[in-house]
């Protein structure tokens, strides 16, 4: 079983180039199904979840070629609407194929999606919205969904919660629907804006992404041959900012959009980091020891991202003073806390609330990543801890970070992978 061995105590110094965003590339790859032609996608991260998505594209009939960070999808001959269980359960975002295949093929059969175990992740909002557009959806057997619509029709959809995946699914399904679709209380994440930009390049009539109402007019003629570059990964960037902060290091991150990171930057500044922003670079200088922050509440964008909660908890675990974190997006997303306690952290959990009493030093230990971001948090804690930390379960980390040990080692971290 692969693991990462981290020897803590080095101050990170140097430059890291941040990869393209996992959460943007996945829906964009699914969206290539809408286009019967050649889709050239640049700035793609090399990740397990991207490989899993490519496997699904190939299964439904696309031809896919990967050249360094460019993925070329020829979606001319999509000829299957079934996503087998072993592919769908590899990652939750496979649910995004619901909207894309429904739009292109008029039907889709998919097993209930897998992914991180961060509490119950229902897809009721996706199902409700697609039904409103005329899709007939049945759960054939436990966890297997069959969805059909001879012709989808535009609809006025209000999401009870601004779900990222449900917003994306409706955007994709409505591209071929008859008439106008409105998504109200839509998710406003930058990845939604990137998906809209891809769809516009494709020829879809869509507007409003980044606000809480998105409008799509179905039935536009699509372009067949397009090129798109994926936005930088704000969560990976945020993770490396914390790596600098927690080690008292000095890093320049390249290929970042600081606007996407404003809640993270604001909390890091509050805790004592010095941060300078220049076009698509961020320079951060960490304090000798961070200060606690008042309260961090995870929220849909533009609030503090839930995908940065675990890394921030690791950071605040060594801060001077007491910080409070409230996880409002997911019901149970504190699996990293138990592991941080093994490293000497002082954190009390009460439902969605974490009370973090910063300790002067963490101590290296053997810890297990239970999910993607929680795993990254343990690597960060290891960078700051005294002695050696072994992180197992790193297949979770590989789902969302491209060569994390290589990038950290290039700026002075003592970290290695053992197979």
Name beta bridge partners: 209.
211
Distance CA 233, CA 238 (A): 9
Active site residue 116: yes
Query: For ligand UD1, which is the closer residue by CB, 74 or 371?
Result: 371
Query: For ligand UD1, which is the closer residue by CB, 307 or 405?
Result: 307
Residue nearest to ligand UD1 (CB): 165
Could you say which of 62, 116, 147, 273 is catalytic? 116
Q: How far is the CB of 129 from ligand UD1 (least distance, A)?
A: 9
Backbone angles phi and psi of 286, in degrees to 5? -85, 155
Q: Which sign does the torsion angle of CA 228, 232, 235, 240 carry?
A: positive
Distance CA 410, CA 310 (A): 23
Query: For ligand UD1, which is the closer residue by CB, 30 or 101?
Result: 30
Q: How far is the CB of 166 from ligand UD1 (least distance, A)?
A: 5
Strand segments, DSSP code E, in 100-224 are 107-111, 136-141, 144-148, 156-158, 180-184, 205-207, 213-217
Query: For ligand UD1, which is the closer residue by CB, 3 or 373?
Result: 373
Q: List the Cα angle 394/400/403 in 5-degree steps.
A: 70
Number of Cβ within 10 Å of residue 161's Cβ equals 11
Q: How far is the CB of 346 from ligand UD1 (least distance, A)?
A: 26
Distance CA 108, CA 412 (A): 48
Distance CA 259, CA 237 (A): 12
**DSSP class per residue in 300-367:** STTSB-GGGHHHHHHHHTTSBSEEEEE--SSS---HHHHHHHHTT-EEEEETTEEEEE--S--B--EE
Residues that bind ligand UD1 (CB under 6 A): 23, 26, 92-93, 121-126, 161, 163-166, 187, 191, 306-307, 329-330
In the numeric block, the tokens 């959460």 are attached to: 23
Query: For ligand UD1, which is the closer residue by CB, 51 or 178?
Result: 51
Q: How far is the CB of 28 from ligand UD1 (least distance, A)?
A: 11
Q: How far is the CB of 118 from ligand UD1 (least distance, A)?
A: 8
Distance CA 281, CA 275 (A): 11
3-state secondary structure of 183: strand
Query: For ligand UD1, which is the closer residue by CB, 26 or 368?
Result: 26
The residues assigned a catalytic role are 116
């Amino acid at each position: 079983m692969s693991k990462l061995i981290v020897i803590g105590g080095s101050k990170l110094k140097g430059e890291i180039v941040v990869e393209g965003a996992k959460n943007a590339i996945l829906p964009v790859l699914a969206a290539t199904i809408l286009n019967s032609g050649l889709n050239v996608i640049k700035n793609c991260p090399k990740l397990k979840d991207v490989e899993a998505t490519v496997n699904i594209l190939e299964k439904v009939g696309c031809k896919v070629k990967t050249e360094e960070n460019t993925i070329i999808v020829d979606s001319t001959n999509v000829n299957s609407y079934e996503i087998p269980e072993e592919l769908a359960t590899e990652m939750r975002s496979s649910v995004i194929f619901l909207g894309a295949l429904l739009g292109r093929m008029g039907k889709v059969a998919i097993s209930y999606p897998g992914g991180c175990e961060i509490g119950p992740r229902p897809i009721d909002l996706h199902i409700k919205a697609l039904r409103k557009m005329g899709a007939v959806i049945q759960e054939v057997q436990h966890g297997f969904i069959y969805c059909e619509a001879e012709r989808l029709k535009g609809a006025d959809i209000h999401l009870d919660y601004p779900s990222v995946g449900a917003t994306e699914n409706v955007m994709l399904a409505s591209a071929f629907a008859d008439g106008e679709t409105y998504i109200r209380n839509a998710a406003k994440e930058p990845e939604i804006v990137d998906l809209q930009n891809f769809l516009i390049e494709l020829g879809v009539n869509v507007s409003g992404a980044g606000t809480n109402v998105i409008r799509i007019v179905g039935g536009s003629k699509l372009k067949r041959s397009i090129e798109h570059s994926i936005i930088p990964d704000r969560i990976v960037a945020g993770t490396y900012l914390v790596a600098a902060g927690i080690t008292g290091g000095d890093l320049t991150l390249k290929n970042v959009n600081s606007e996407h990171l404003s809640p993270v930057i604001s909390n890091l500044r509050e805790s004592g980091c010095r941060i300078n922003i220049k076009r698509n670079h961020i320079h951060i200088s960490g304090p000798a020891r961070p200060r606690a922050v008042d309260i961090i509440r995870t929220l849909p964008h533009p609030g503090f991202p839930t995908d940065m909660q675990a890394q921030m908890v690791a950071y605040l675990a060594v801060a001077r003073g007491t910080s409070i974190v409230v996880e409002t997006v997911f019901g149970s997303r504190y699996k990293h806390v138990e592991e941080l306690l093994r490293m000497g952290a002082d954190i009390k959990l009460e439902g969605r609330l974490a009370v973090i009493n910063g300790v002067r030093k963490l101590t290296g230990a053997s810890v297990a990543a239970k999910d993607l971001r929680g795993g990254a948090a343990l690597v960060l804690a290891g960078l700051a801890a005294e002695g050696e930390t072994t992180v197992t379960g790193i297949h979770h980390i590989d789902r969302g970070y491209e060569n994390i040990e290589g990038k950290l080692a290039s700026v002075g971290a003592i970290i290695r992978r053992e197979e």
